[in-house]
Structure 1
């Protein structure tokens, strides 16, 4: 599959590294605020804040729209396909095939993000034909920089990406993992 927009499967479930990455469902709406309505998520990610049940429903609708457009996959990070512990994203972006993630505050420190990133990167290489996957991170986000290293990514020598989100300026570094 090339990096140009093309259809994505209606349903996706990926397993590996002791995780099951699966589609978000209506049943997850009540769990999503506990994962995403947190100051760290509000600060470091573009996820809306406050994140309540209405925001969860909106995100679920947007997830399905992005999938239909063929640009983005958002999956719940789970241990066994049941309770969501966070989210992993795979997106076809102008900068490249990008992965993003957020782990609920109660589930941090278990290596979930790094494991989910490795599983999603393998999917991008195998199913999307990506030559490289990237993470765009703020250098000050020590937890995400640690995830990048644990997942095997390296800091790329490319210009930083600057912008503003939620009234806060940011500077993103690009980390890359090349096809094995």
Structure 2
């Protein structure tokens, strides 16, 4: 991002959909491996694997750096501001304002990702002034695409080329889903 990109607020808490989205803190470090050290997270996301205490520290430091740079905002998904259940992110990128998410295996099936995406999309529309947010998802990731998140939150598959990429030794193609400002 350019040096003219404004940082995200240091103190931020997004509330809605029965959730409280808040910055990661030192007190979350012990919980992060249980959320992110899982084969599904390793396969479908760019989050490092294995995810241990050192990875948790690096993720916390990275989230703070990206927020200060104005590149991305990574927030813990909670129901009450307490224990983290996953993460939701908004990232300013050349291809668009992207939302990403990961929910810990023990907390799936509660609609946390879909609710967190709706709250983050509202933030992007209302506070960042964007006209559209995107999700970049692998078509094979049925939990994210059809069933749990993209369609449930009103995103539509955009007629744009697939994004070919490689991560952790595997190649894949991402579909781009878009949600326009209401």
TM-score w.r.t. the length of structure 1 is 0.97
The 5 Å alignment of 1:28-39 reads 28-39=28-39
**Runs of 5+ consecutive residues of structure 2 not aligned to the other structure:** none
Following TM superposition, by how much is the alpha carbon of 1:12 offset from its aligned partner in structure 2, in angstroms? 1.1
Partner of 1:127: 127
> SS state of the match for residue 109, structure 1?
coil
> How many corresponding residue pairs?
177
Partner of 1:84: 84
Distance, in Å, in 2 between the alignment partners of 1:16 and 1:116 is 8
Deviations 1:40-67 (A, max 9, x none): 0000000000000110001000111101
Distance, in Å, in 2 between the alignment partners of 1:151 and 1:31 is 27
**Runs of 5+ consecutive residues of structure 1 not aligned to the other structure:** none
Partner of 2:16: 16
Deviations 1:120-158 (A, max 9, x none): 000000010010000000000000102101111010000
Following TM superposition, by how much is the alpha carbon of 1:104 offset from its aligned partner in structure 2, in angstroms? 0.2
Following TM superposition, by how much is the alpha carbon of 1:7 offset from its aligned partner in structure 2, in angstroms? 2.0
Deviations 1:11-37 (A, max 9, x none): 210000000000100000000000000
Q: What is the CA RMSD across the aligned residues, in angstroms?
A: 0.7
Following TM superposition, by how much is the alpha carbon of 1:96 offset from its aligned partner in structure 2, in angstroms? 0.2
Q: 2:173 aligns with which of 168, 171, 174?
A: 171
The 5 Å alignment of 1:35-74 reads 35-74=35-74
Following TM superposition, by how much is the alpha carbon of 1:5 offset from its aligned partner in structure 2, in angstroms? 1.7
